Structure 1
Amino acid sequence: MHIAIIGAGISGLMTALELVEQGCSVDIFDQQQAGQAASWAGGGILSPMYPWRYAPEVNQLAQHGKSLYQIWNEKLLPITGIDFQIHDTGMLIFDQEDFKVGLDYATQFNEPMQQAHLLNREKLEHVNPHISAQFQQAIYFPQLSNVRNPRLLQSLIRYLKQHPLVQFFEHCPIEKLLIQNHKAQGIQLNDGQRFYADHVVLASGAWSQHWLEQLQREIPVHPVQGQMLLFKTPENWLPTMCMNRVMYLIPRQDGHIVCGSSMAEVGFNTSTDRQTQQNILDACLEMVPELAQFPIVKRWAGLRPSSPKGIPYIGQMPDIENLWANFGHFRNGLCMGSGSALLLRQLILEQNTIVNPSTYSPSRLEKTLLMTS
C-alpha cells in the first residue's frame, strides 16, 4: 500500500512511522523543511495543561502519549543516535482556583499520570527550592513528563529518511488534491508535478484551511500564535515543571528552560514582539525569581492549529474515499501526536482501534455554501 502524507510535523511524521512499520510505503510532503513549524516550537509537555479544562476526547488520546513515545524512543535511538529525552520532572501548578478540581481529576478518571498532591510551603521547598516565597501552596503532579520535541522530530526525520519505504519531498507546496469519482488519486505540486497514491493523508496543521475550497467543507482550523523564550541554567538546576495562569517553565536535562506561552490571533505571523516577550518573562520570574540571573538564549513563535474545543479531526474525510485527516490538535499536538497517529493507522488499515474513533471523525466538517457568480 502506497500512502502520500501532506505535512511533516509531529502528526505527519508519526503517521508515517506507524504506517511504514506496518509495511506501507510512504511519500512525505512539506511546504517547508520537515519538522520546523508548530511541532518544533512547542514545549513538549506530555499532558494537556490543566487537563480538566479540556474535552474528554483530548485527554483520551493524550494519555497514550508518554508510553508510546517511550516505546518509539527505545526502537529509534539505536538507529538514529538521537534520544527524545523524555524527562520525568513532575509539575507544580500554582493556580489556587484549580487546586480542588485538579486534585479530584485523577480520582475521578483514574489516570495514573494525573495523580496529584497538595503541598504546603515546607513540602514545596523540598520538591523545588527555587519557587518564589509568594506561593505557599501548590498541587504537585509527580508523574508528568516532557519530551524534548526538537530532538523527537530530529529522530523521527532521521529514521524515516533512511527507511527504504519512505521518500521525503521538502519545500514542495501542494496546489491541489487529485480527486476523481469521489476518490483521492494523489496530489499535484505548485510546479505541476503529480504524485499518485492509494491513500492521501492531510496532516497540514494550521494550514489545513488550504483544502476548504477544493473539498467544499468548512475546516474550522486556523493559526494561533504562541511565543516562547529559552533560559540556560546549570544542568538539572530546576527540578520540576511549573505552571501559573497558563504560563509554564519546562526544564530540559541540560539546563535549558523553555518558558511560555502566549496566545494571539495574528494569522501566519511568526515574529516575536517586545511586550509579549516581557509578559512571558514577568510570569516566569514571578514563579522562579532566581531565573533573572541566567541568560535568555533564544526567543521564537509558533503557530498552533486551533480547532473547536481542541478536538482533532482524525479519520476518513466525508464523501471521498482514501482521503484521511489528522489535523486540528491546537495546543496538544505533541501529547496527542503518537496516539492520533496510531488511531489513524488503525483506521486506514482497518484494524481494531485504541479509542472509539467516531468522536474524532471528519464527518463533523460541514459542507460549505459555494458562491455562484
Structure 2
Amino acid sequence: MHIAIIGAGISGLMSALELAEQGCSVDIFDQQLAGQAASWAGGGILSPMYPWRYAPEVNQLAQYGKPLYQIWNEKLLPITGIDFQIHDTGMLIFDQEDFEIGLNYATRHQEPMQHCELLNRPKLEKINPYISQQFQQAIYFPHLSNVRNPRLLQSLICYLKQHPAVRFFEQCPVEKLMIQNKKVQGIETEDGQKFSADHVVITSGAWSQQWQQQIQRHIPVHPVQGQMLLFKTPENWLPTMCMNRVMYLIPRQDGHIVCGSSMAETGFSTAVDADTQQNILTACLEMVPELKQFPIVKRWAGLRPSSPQGIPYIGAMPELENLWANFGHFRNGLCMGSGSARLLRQLVLGQDTLVDPNAYSPLRLKQQDLISC
C-alpha cells in the first residue's frame, strides 16, 4: 500500500512511522524542511495543561503520549543515536482556583498519571527550592514529564530518512489533490509534479484550511501564535516543571529552561514582539525569581492549529475515497501526536482501534457552501 502524507510535523512524521512499520510505502511532503514548524516550537509537556479544562477526547488521546514515545525511543535510539530525552520532572501548579478540581481529577477520570497532592510551603521547598515565597501552596503532579521535542523530531526524521519504505519531499509544497470520481488518486506539487498514491493523509496543521475548497468541506482550523523564550542554567538546575496562569517553565536535562507561552491571532506571522516577550518573562520570574541571574539564549514563536475545543480531526474524509485527516490538535499536538498517529494507522489499515474513533471523525466537518459567480 502506497501512502502520501502532506505535512512533516509531529502528526505527519508519527503517521509515517506507524504506517511504514506496518509495511506501507510512504511519501512525506512538506512546504519547508521537515519538523520546522509548530512541532519544533512547542514545549513538549506530555500532558494537556490543566487537563480538566479540556474536552475528554483530548485527554483520552493525550494519555497515550508518554508510554508510546517511551516505546518508540527505545526502538529508534540505537539506530539514530538521538535520545528523545523524556524528562520525568513532575509539575507544580500554583493556580489556587484549580487545586480542588486538580486533586480530584485522577480518581474521577481514572487517569493515574494525573495523580497530584497538595503541598504546603515546607514540602514545596523540598520538591523545588527555587519557588517564589509568594507561593505558599501548590498541587504537585509527580508523574508528569516532558519530551525534548526538537530531539524527538530529529530522531524521527533520521530514522524515516534511512527507512527503505519512506521518501521525503521537503520544500515541496503540494498544490492540489488529484481527485477523480470522488476518489483521491494522488497529489500534484507546486512545480507540477504528480505523485500517485493509494491513500493520501492530510497532516498540515495550521495550514489545513487550504484544502477546504477542493474537498468541499469547511475546515475550522486556523493558526494561533504562541511565543516562547529559553534560559540557560546549569544542568538539572530547576527540578520541576512549573505552571501559573497558563504560563509555564519546562526544564531540560542540560539546563535549558523553556518558558511560555502566549496566545495571539497573527495570521501566519511567527515574529516575536517585545511586549509579549516581557509578559512571558515577568510571569516566569514571578514563579522562579532566581532565573533572572541566567542568560536568555533564544526567543521564538510557533503556529498552533486551532480547532473547536482542540479536538483533532482523525479518520476518513467524508464523500472522498482514500483521503484521510490527522490535523487540528491545537495546543496538544505533541502529547496527542503518538496516540493520534496510531489511531490513524489503525483506521487506514482496518485494524482494531485504541479508542472509539467516532469522536474524532472528519464527518464533523460541515459541507462547504459553494459561491457561484
TM-score range, shorter chain: over 0.9
Q: How does 1:322-361 map to 2 (within 5 A)?
A: 322-361=322-361
Determine the structure 2 residue equivalent to 1:151: 151
In the alignment, the residues of structure 2 paired with residue 214 and residue 20 of structure 1 have an alpha-carbon distance, to the nearest angstrom, of 27
Shift of 1:58: 0.1
* 1:264-323 Cα distance to aligned partner (Å, 9 max, x none): 000000000000000000000000000000000000000000000000000000000110
Q: How does 1:274-353 map to 2 (within 5 A)?
A: 274-353=274-353
In the alignment, the residues of structure 1 paired with residue 68 and residue 290 of structure 2 have an alpha-carbon distance, to the nearest angstrom, of 35
Matched, 1:136 2:133: no
Determine the structure 2 residue equivalent to 1:229: 229
* Aligned-partner residue type, residue 272 of structure 1: V
Shift of 1:348: 0.3
* 1:223-243 Cα distance to aligned partner (Å, 9 max, x none): 000000000000000000000
Q: How does 1:50-69 map to 2 (within 5 A)?
A: 50-69=50-69
Matched, 1:186 2:209: no
* Aligned-partner residue type, residue 65 of structure 2: G
* 1:92-136 Cα distance to aligned partner (Å, 9 max, x none): 000000000000100101211100000000000000000000000
* Aligned-partner residue type, residue 72 of structure 1: W
In the alignment, the residues of structure 1 paired with residue 23 and residue 371 of structure 2 have an alpha-carbon distance, to the nearest angstrom, of 44
* Aligned-partner residue type, residue 196 of structure 2: Y
In the alignment, the residues of structure 2 paired with residue 368 and residue 181 of structure 1 have an alpha-carbon distance, to the nearest angstrom, of 18
Q: Secondary structure of the residue that 1:151 maps to in structure 2?
A: helix
Q: Secondary structure of the residue that 1:160 maps to in structure 2?
A: helix
Shift of 1:356: 0.1
In the alignment, the residues of structure 1 paired with residue 237 and residue 167 of structure 2 have an alpha-carbon distance, to the nearest angstrom, of 41
* 1:116-168 Cα distance to aligned partner (Å, 9 max, x none): 00000000000000000000000000000000000000000000000000000
Shift of 1:9: 0.1
Shift of 1:216: 1.0
Determine the structure 1 residue equivalent to 2:98: 98
In the alignment, the residues of structure 1 paired with residue 85 and residue 344 of structure 2 have an alpha-carbon distance, to the nearest angstrom, of 25
Q: Secondary structure of the residue that 2:22 maps to in structure 1?
A: coil
- Could you tell me which runs of 5 or more consecutive residues in structure 1 were left unpaired when the two chains were aligned: none
4+ runs deviating over 6 angstroms: none
In the alignment, the residues of structure 1 paired with residue 118 and residue 94 of structure 2 have an alpha-carbon distance, to the nearest angstrom, of 10
Determine the structure 1 residue equivalent to 2:33: 33
Determine the structure 2 residue equivalent to 1:12: 12
* Aligned-partner residue type, residue 352 of structure 1: D
In the alignment, the residues of structure 2 paired with residue 333 and residue 8 of structure 1 have an alpha-carbon distance, to the nearest angstrom, of 13
CA RMSD of superposed structures (Å)? 0.3
* 1:10-55 Cα distance to aligned partner (Å, 9 max, x none): 0000000000000000000000000000000000000000000000
In the alignment, the residues of structure 2 paired with residue 168 and residue 41 of structure 1 have an alpha-carbon distance, to the nearest angstrom, of 21
* Aligned-partner residue type, residue 6 of structure 2: I
Q: How does 1:166-245 map to 2 (within 5 A)?
A: 166-245=166-245
In the alignment, the residues of structure 2 paired with residue 69 and residue 49 of structure 1 have an alpha-carbon distance, to the nearest angstrom, of 18
Shift of 1:257: 0.1
* Aligned-partner residue type, residue 23 of structure 1: G
In the alignment, the residues of structure 1 paired with residue 33 and residue 92 of structure 2 have an alpha-carbon distance, to the nearest angstrom, of 35
Determine the structure 2 residue equivalent to 1:113: 113
Q: Secondary structure of the residue that 1:371 maps to in structure 2?
A: coil
Q: Secondary structure of the residue that 1:43 maps to in structure 2?
A: coil
In the alignment, the residues of structure 2 paired with residue 168 and residue 264 of structure 1 have an alpha-carbon distance, to the nearest angstrom, of 32
* Aligned-partner residue type, residue 2 of structure 1: H
* Aligned-partner residue type, residue 278 of structure 1: Q
In the alignment, the residues of structure 1 paired with residue 184 and residue 370 of structure 2 have an alpha-carbon distance, to the nearest angstrom, of 21
Determine the structure 2 residue equivalent to 1:89: 89
In the alignment, the residues of structure 2 paired with residue 171 and residue 234 of structure 1 have an alpha-carbon distance, to the nearest angstrom, of 37
Determine the structure 2 residue equivalent to 1:255: 255
In the alignment, the residues of structure 2 paired with residue 311 and residue 190 of structure 1 have an alpha-carbon distance, to the nearest angstrom, of 30
In the alignment, the residues of structure 2 paired with residue 235 and residue 273 of structure 1 have an alpha-carbon distance, to the nearest angstrom, of 29
In the alignment, the residues of structure 2 paired with residue 304 and residue 43 of structure 1 have an alpha-carbon distance, to the nearest angstrom, of 12
In the alignment, the residues of structure 2 paired with residue 352 and residue 214 of structure 1 have an alpha-carbon distance, to the nearest angstrom, of 30
In the alignment, the residues of structure 2 paired with residue 238 and residue 190 of structure 1 have an alpha-carbon distance, to the nearest angstrom, of 46
Shift of 1:369: 1.1
Shift of 1:368: 1.3
In the alignment, the residues of structure 2 paired with residue 31 and residue 332 of structure 1 have an alpha-carbon distance, to the nearest angstrom, of 22
Q: TM-score, normalised by structure 2?
A: 1.00
- Could you tell me which runs of 5 or more consecutive residues in structure 2 were left unpaired when the two chains were aligned: none
In the alignment, the residues of structure 2 paired with residue 119 and residue 180 of structure 1 have an alpha-carbon distance, to the nearest angstrom, of 61
Q: TM-score, normalised by structure 1?
A: 1.00
* Aligned-partner residue type, residue 230 of structure 2: L
In the alignment, the residues of structure 2 paired with residue 369 and residue 203 of structure 1 have an alpha-carbon distance, to the nearest angstrom, of 23
Give the share of equivalent positions with the same residue, in percent: 82
In the alignment, the residues of structure 2 paired with residue 209 and residue 109 of structure 1 have an alpha-carbon distance, to the nearest angstrom, of 33
